[in-house]
């Protein structure tokens, strides 16, 4: 291959860095070292990275199914796009983005597993929420500083810091600082008034030890593609790196991200979709003017200006776009340290701290005589007329929420459910090279998360806006914004504190045999997970509904539950604290065999576990004996098997894997409609039982000519639930033989990349997604869809005389496909009989809703490096 072809292969082959057989984008420094990507490090086109083939083509030799993309490919996608969306072309992964630019999050499906069951890591540290394991794809690092990203389709790494990842991992690694001083500036404009600027400054080597560092910042702002409101994002990153020689290094990095997003109205059902309807939040809403001595009821006296240009009178302001928001602040500090204690013994230590505060907005109508405010059980009379309001007992008791001098009104309050997390952790490994062919690693992980969930109420501003997006949350000194009752307590919709503690030990052996043709990996990890729950409010039995109050208890029942005068016979459980523990030993085994130089096969087996989530655990109930039962739900477990083949040559790379997953104790939520059940009329979690999944993931990259390359991928997923879901002792949801929700049976990906000239290249990529069921009983299905994207890049180095100057044009959803994106799945959409006997017990269905796929979106980026 001539020099020009090699240079072309480095930029366009594998379609700009899409690799099914890529190098590790590891969970930690320990995994990076154990898999050889630190020890075998080389420098390629100005970037440090793992051993590569022909420039930017990353070689993959791990004995598991993994797909990797590099910055060469990432840089061809939309500027500022979520890394998970950019990974959407790898086989096995299907991601539905809720926004054309990625700032509103989205839904992950990896071999049928949702994002809560997939580990997401950033330079090794876990990013899934410590409570519900959610992966917030809109809060990821700027794509310009991601060196590489990968997907483990079937399993985690042996030191994966997770108690939730049954379905594999998504991991990405940030770039190192450059050795030479320099700067980078990218500016982008696009559809929907999109504007973004990204800047990076590298110090180059400085000081007596050749230390390097970089700092970056970005700012993004644009309009929603439908409905009122804007999305704004600020992000800052920095890293300092010290090469200690002989493969040793130390690194310290930080990340800070702020999102201030207006939310989309995603309550679109299939009938509305078929009619082309796109419901959205109200542009504005005006509440009734407070007047002393009269009754203002904001549940039916407000005036809303709808998105479609209409005026809606005698309504509430619950859909005001200024309330439907999703603010978040996230940040982390992360260290990486790798040091050779001897020639054969290496220590790696990755400490980290993470911070999160976020909510999804909130709107609550509250009576000024609510007993949580006035603690006066005799002041609950309904007030509907001015004459009733004139009565002194009504006027002077209660709490005046709207400032009109009386307490006769029903007033809207801003009540977001804040989640504030402080998370501390360390990943450590001790790696012993017994000799050149045998390596042993022992790892320890500690992940400690303090998870505070509150819902402090605040008043709205006079114009209907919120005074503070995090309301009265005390982290930001907003306590004076709270709504206080007559006894000094403050009104809140939830109040609980959790600790999630993971202690994990793991061990791994890697051996090379027959002149390195055969590689064997034997590993085991043992997670010990503890959840400490502290509920500070009264909670309804078997429900997430709570009453946070200081009012007097009306009665204490024989089973220990209590009632309040203002809520009638509804039973509540007193505040409580409990500690729950889970543990399991999980083997991780793999082998690969290389033959005939270009061919290799591999096999892998791994077990996974996902313990119940915090929200699921905060739903205890009293049994008939009065015992407080927190959950009968068992952790989910998986046995994952992969068998794969790879072929690699200078112009062709192919990979194919068949896989099988045995999934036990899958947790689903269902609504109990059996009046004889202790959880009657509540949604509760249950184990669905075993699920069998099997499928195929394959891809190929082909350098067709010196200027044209193709990438293609296909995935097949067949899942089958083995049992019906028991609702009660006599009723069952007919799930046996059904397919897992939201998971397409087939997906196909195709990308072509053409270097038109030495300076101009264009790319076209598309993805076809099969139909997806929306319910556990498969009685509703979302249609298939195809999305095509286009990119064009022109090198401006000679034009401006600036190194790395370019202009890039991107179009997503080129043919303006309309399709349902993220699905709000459930048990059943239609009415069904859940009694397997001759008797008929009808379970009412609920039509499912979803977000809409974004329309055609265009953007233009001008980038420079100097």
Position 390 scores a pLDDT of 75
330, 139 contact by CB (below 8 A): yes
729: Cβ contacts below 8 Å, ≥ 6 apart: none
Are β-strands 169-174 and 119-122 bridged in parallel, bridged antiparallel, or unpaired? parallel
Candidates 524, 493, 510; CA nearest to 413 is 493
Q: Give φ, ψ of 453 to 5 degrees.
A: -125, 120
HSE-up of residue 724 (Cα within 13 Å, Cβ side): 13
Dihedral angle, C-alpha 383, 389, 395, 397, nearest 10 °: -20
212 and 261 together in one domain? yes
**CA angle at 417 for the pair 416 and 422, rounded to the nearest 5°:** 125
Q: Is residue 554 part of a domain?
A: no
Distance (Å, whole) CA 217 – CA 184: 11
**82 phi/psi in degrees, rounded to 5:** -60, 140
Answer whether residue 401 is part of any domain: yes
389 DSSP 8-state letter:
H
Q: Are residues 205 and 298 in the same domain?
A: no
- How many domains is the chain partitioned into structurally? 2
| Alpha-carbon span 819 to 801, nearest angstrom | 44
Per the domain annotation, does 375 fall within a domain?
A: yes
**Other Cβ atoms within 10 Å of 527 Cβ, number:** 23
Mention every residue, 6+ apart, whose C-beta is less than 8 A from residue 662: 638, 639, 690, 691, 692
Output the six-digit token pair for 675.
């009046």
**Integer Cα distance of 160 and 158 in angstroms:** 6
- Does the CA dihedral 475-480-485-488 come out positive or negative? positive
730 and 781 both lie in a single domain: yes
Q: Compute the distance between CA of residue 759 and CA of residue 808 in angstroms, rounded to an integer.
A: 12
Residue 73 sits in the same domain as residue 133: yes
CATH number of domain containing 28: 2.40.170.20
User: Do residue 762 and residue 674 come from a single domain?
Assistant: yes
Please tell me whether residues 647 and 706 are part of one structural domain: yes
**Residue at 561 is within a domain:** no
* 15 found inside a domain: yes
DSSP-based three-state secondary structure for 49: strand
The encoded tokens of residue 106 equal 């989205």
The answer to whether residue 345 is domain-embedded is yes
Residue found under tokens 């959790």: 498
Q: What is the 8-class DSSP label of residue 87?
A: G
Clarify whether residues 851 and 805 are in a common domain.
yes
Buried b (16+ CB within 10 A) or exposed e, 690-705: ebebbbbbbbbbbbee
Asked if residue 289 and residue 271 are part of one domain, the reply reads no
CA distance to 438, 451, 640, per residue, from 505 (Å) = 20, 23, 21
430: left (phi over 0), alpha (psi -120 to 50) or beta: beta
Q: Which is it for strands 284-286 and 599-610: parallel, antiparallel or unpaired?
A: unpaired
- Does 504 map to a domain? yes
Beta-carbon neighbour count of residue 689 at 10 Å? 18
d(CA 367, CA 304): 21
Question: Are 131 and 614 in contact, with CB atoms under 8 Å apart?
Answer: yes
Tokens for 306, please give them: 């709808």
Pairing, β 785-795 against β 760-769: antiparallel
Question: What distance in Å separates the CA atoms of residue 576 and residue 622, rounded to the nearest whole number?
Answer: 13
Specify whether 106 is located in the same domain as 186: yes
Taking Cα atoms as reference points, which of 407, 327, 412 lies closest to residue 371? 407
Contact 262/325 with Cβ under 8 angstroms?
Answer: yes
Integer-rounded Cα Rg, in Å, for the chain is 28
pLDDT under 50: residue ranges of the chain: 1-26, 37-59, 670-683
pLDDT confidence of residue 601: 96
Query: Quick one: 314 exposed, middle or buried, by C-beta within 10 A (0-12, 13-18, 19+)?
Result: exposed
Q: How far apart are CA 594 and CA 602, in angstroms?
A: 9
Instruction: Identify the pLDDT of residue 161.
Output: 84
Q: Name the helix (H) or strand (E) containing 616.
A: helix 614-617
The range of the structural domain enclosing residue 47 comes to 3-276+321-363+417-536+575-616+633-865
DSSP characters for 129-192?
A: -TTT----GGGPPPGGGEEEEEEESS---TT---SS-SS-EEEEEEPPPPSS-EEEEEEEEETT
Asked whether 375 and 553 are in contact (CB, 8 A), the reply is: no
Residues counted in the chain: 866
Residue 783 · residue 819 · CB < 8 Å? yes
Structural element, H or E, at residue 71: helix 71-74
Residue 580 C-beta-side C-alpha neighbours within 13 Å: 21
Q: Measured between alpha carbons, how far is 180 from 66 in angstroms, rounded to an integer?
A: 33
Please check whether residues 356 and 210 belong to one and the same domain.
Answer: yes
| Residues 178 and 263 placed together within one structural domain of the fold | yes
Query: For the chain, how many helices (H) and strands (E)?
Result: 11, 57
Question: In angstroms, rounded to a whole number, what is the distance separating the alpha carbons of residues 668 and 333?
Answer: 35
Q: Residue 335 and residue 202: Cα distance in Å, rounded?
A: 19
Residues near 863 by beta carbon (within 8 Å), at least 6 away in sequence: 184, 185, 186, 187, 804, 805, 806, 807, 808
Whether 237 is in a domain gets the answer yes
Distance separating alpha carbons of residues 412 and 110, to the nearest angstrom: 41
- Together in a domain, 388 and 465: no
Closest CA to 88 of 766, 698, 645: 766
Indicate the pTM of the whole model.
Answer: 0.91
């Amino acid at each position: 291959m001539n020099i020009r072809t090699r240079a072309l292969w480095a930029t366009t082959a594998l379609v700009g860095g899409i690799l099914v057989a890529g190098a590790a984008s590891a969970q930690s420094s320990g995994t990076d070292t154990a898999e050889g990507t630190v020890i075998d490090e080389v420098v390629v086109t100005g970037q440090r990275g793992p051993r590569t083939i022909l420039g930017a083509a990353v070689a993959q030799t791990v004995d598991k199914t993994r797909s990797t993309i590099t910055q060469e490919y990432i840089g061809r996608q939309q500027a500022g796009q979520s890394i998970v969306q950019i990974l959407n072309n790898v086989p096995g992964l299907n991601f539905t983005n809720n926004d054309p630019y990625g700032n509103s999050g989205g839904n992950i499906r990896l071999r049928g597993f949702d994002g809560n069951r997939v580990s997401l890591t950033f330079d090794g540290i876990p990013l899934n929420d410590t409570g519900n394991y959610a992966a917030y794809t809109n809060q990821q690092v700027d794509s310009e500083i991601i060196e590489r990203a990968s997907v483990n389709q079937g399993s985690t790494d042996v030191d994966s810091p997770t108690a939730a990842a049954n379905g594999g991992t998504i991991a990405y690694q940030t770039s190192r600082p450059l050795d030479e001083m320099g700067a980078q500036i990218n500016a982008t404009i696009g559809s929907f008034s999109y504007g973004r600027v990204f800047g990076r400054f590298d110090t180059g080597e400085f000081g007596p030890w050749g230390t390097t560092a970089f700092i970056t910042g970005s700012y993004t702002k644009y309009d929603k593609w439908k409905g009122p409101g804007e999305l704004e994002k600020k992000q800052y990153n920095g890293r300092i790196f010290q090469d200690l020689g002989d493969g040793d290094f130390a690194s310290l990095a930080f990340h800070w991200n702020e999102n201030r997003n207006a939310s989309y109205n995603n309550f679109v059902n299939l009938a509305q979709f078929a009619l082309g309807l796109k419901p959205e939040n109200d542009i504005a809403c005006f509440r009734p003017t407070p007047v002393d001595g009269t009754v203002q009821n904001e549940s039916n006296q407000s005036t809303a200006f709808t998105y479609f240009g209409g005026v809606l009178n005698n309504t509430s302001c619950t859909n005001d776009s200024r309330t439907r928001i999703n603010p978040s602040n996230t940040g982390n500090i992360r260290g990486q340290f790798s040091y050779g204690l001897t020639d054969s013994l290496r220590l790696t230590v990755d400490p980290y701290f993470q911070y999160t505060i976020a909510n999804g907005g909130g709107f609550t109508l509250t009576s000024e005589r609510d007993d949580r405010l006035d603690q006066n059980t005799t002041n609950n009379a309904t007030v509907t007329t001015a004459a009733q309001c004139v009565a002194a007992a009504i006027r002077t008791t209660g709490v005046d929420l709207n400032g009109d001098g009386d307490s006769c009104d029903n007033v809207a309050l801003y009540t977001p459910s804040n989640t504030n997390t402080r998370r501390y952790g360390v990943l450590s490994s001790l790696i012993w090279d017994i000799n050149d062919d045998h390596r042993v690693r022992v790892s320890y992980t500690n992940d400690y998360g303090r998870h505070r969930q509150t819902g402090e109420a605040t008043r709205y501003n006079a114009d209907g806006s919120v005074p503070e997006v995090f309301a009265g949350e005390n982290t930001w000194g907003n306590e004076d914004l709270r709504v206080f009752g007559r006894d000094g307590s403050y009104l809140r919709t939830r109040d609980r504190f959790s600790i999630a503690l993971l202690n994990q030990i793991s061990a791994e052996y890697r051996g090379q045999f027959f002149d390195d043709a055969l590689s064997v990996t034997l590993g085991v990890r043992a997670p010990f997970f503890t959840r400490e729950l502290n509920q500070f409010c009264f909670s309804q039995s078997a429900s997430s509904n709570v009453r946070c109050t200081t009012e007097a208890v009306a009665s204490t029942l024989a089973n220990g539950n209590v009632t309040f005068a203002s809520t009638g016979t509804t039973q509540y459980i007193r505040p409580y604290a409990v500690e729950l523990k889970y543990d399991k030993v999980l083997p991780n085994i793999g082998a690969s065999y290389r033959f005939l130089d270009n061919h290799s096969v591999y096999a892998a087996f791994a077990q996974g576990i996902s313990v119940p989530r915090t929200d699921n655990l905060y739903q205890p109930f009293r049994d008939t004996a009065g015992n407080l039962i927190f959950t009968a739900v068992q952790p989910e477990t998986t046995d994952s098997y992969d068998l794969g083949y790879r072929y690699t040559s200078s112009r062709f790379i192919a990979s194919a894997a068949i896989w099988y997953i045995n999934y036990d104790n899958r947790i689903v939520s269902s609504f109990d409609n059996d009046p004889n059940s202790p959880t009657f009329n509540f949604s509760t979690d249950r184990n669905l039982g075993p699920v069998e999944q099997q499928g195929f993931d394959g891809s190929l990259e082909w350098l067709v000519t010196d200027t044209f390359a193709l990438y293609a991928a296909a995935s097949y997923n067949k899942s089958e639930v083995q049992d019906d879901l028991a609702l009660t002792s006599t009723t069952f949801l007919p799930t046996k033989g059904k397919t897992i929700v939201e998971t397409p049976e087939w997906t196909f990906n195709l990308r072509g990349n053409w270097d038109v000239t030495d300076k101009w290249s264009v790319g076209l990529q598309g993805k076809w997604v099969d139909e997806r069921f929306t319910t556990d009983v498969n009685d509703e299905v979302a249609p298939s869809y195809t999305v095509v994207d286009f990119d064009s890049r022109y090198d401006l180095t000679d034009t401006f005389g600036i190194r790395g100057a370019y202009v890039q044009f991107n179009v997503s959803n080129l043919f303006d496909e309309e399709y349902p994106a993220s699905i709000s799945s459930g048990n059943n959409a239609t009415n069904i009989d859940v009694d397997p006997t001759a008797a008929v017990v009808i379970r009412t269905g609920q039509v499912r809703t979803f977000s809409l796929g974004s329309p055609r979106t265009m953007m233009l980026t001008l980038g420079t490096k100097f």
